[in-house]
Amino acid sequence: MNTAQWGEWFTIILMAFALGLDAFSLGIGIGLRGIRLLDVLKLSVIIGIFHIIMPLLGIFTGHYVGELLGAVAASVGGALLILLGVHMIYSSLRREKNESISYRSLWGMLLFAFSVSIDSFSVGVSLGIFASDLILTVLLFGVFGGMMSICGLLLGRRVGEWVGSCGEAFGGLILLTFGLRFLF
């Protein structure tokens, strides 16, 4: 492998790590609410799959509406995270026992995986120009996204046991913060 190929792979691994960091950070917020180990596995697999699909969708559509959709995708993801975060904070302050979005349901897992993976869509818009081995690149994104979400969910789960009733509000604050970051 020549120097240019090493540099390309280093950059791809760094991009996969950066995209995985969002899954890690947001996983901590969800883990703080309390999550079963089986749900950690399910959610992480779904996030890994979304981290493969979203860049591919970005690549396919990026040739037509790259700049416009990149900004819209980040805004939609940010708004979704803000709504989820505000709902979590509101529910914890009112001490509501029922939740409108359950991360144990398929819908809740898909919604969360979509919100975590929306930035990989934006990355996918420009990825087709850069990557020489597209399939291996998006598979790396999926592996990093899935593994880092497992780490974040497990860390949040562990910390959530210590935090107690404030865990849901803190998790909501994390989601709200990331949502604002996406919007601004």
Q: What is the reported pLDDT for 45?
A: 96
**% of the chain beyond a pLDDT of 90:** 18
pTM, entire model: 0.71
Distance of CA 169 to the CA centre of its chain: 19
Q: How confident is the model at residue 42 (pLDDT cuts 50, 70, 90)?
A: very high
Encode pLDDT of 121-154 as tens digits: 777 766 655 555 778 888 999 999 999 999 999 9
pLDDT at 88 over 50: yes
Task: Please state, rounded to an integer, the average pLDDT across all residues of the chain.
Answer: 77
Instruction: Give the range of the structural domain holding residue 23, as residue numbers without chain letter.
Output: 3-183
State mean pLDDT over 145-170: 78
Q: What is the reported pLDDT for 69?
A: 55
Encode pLDDT of 46-78 as tens digits: 999 999 999 888 777 755 654 565 556 667 666
Tell me if 154 sits within 8 A of 31, measured CB to CB.
yes
Q: Of 14-23, 36-45, 75-84, 162-171, which has the strongest mean pLDDT?
A: 36-45
Residue recorded with tokens 């950690």: 40
* Integer Cα distance of 159 and 156 in angstroms: 5
What are the tokens at 71?
């900004």
User: Number of structural domains, the chain?
Assistant: 1
Q: What is the reported pLDDT for 44?
A: 95
Q: Which residues, 6+ apart, have CB-to-CB distance to 112 below 8 Å? A: 26, 30, 43, 47, 84, 103
Q: What is the reported pLDDT for 48?
A: 95
State mean pLDDT over 92-104: 60
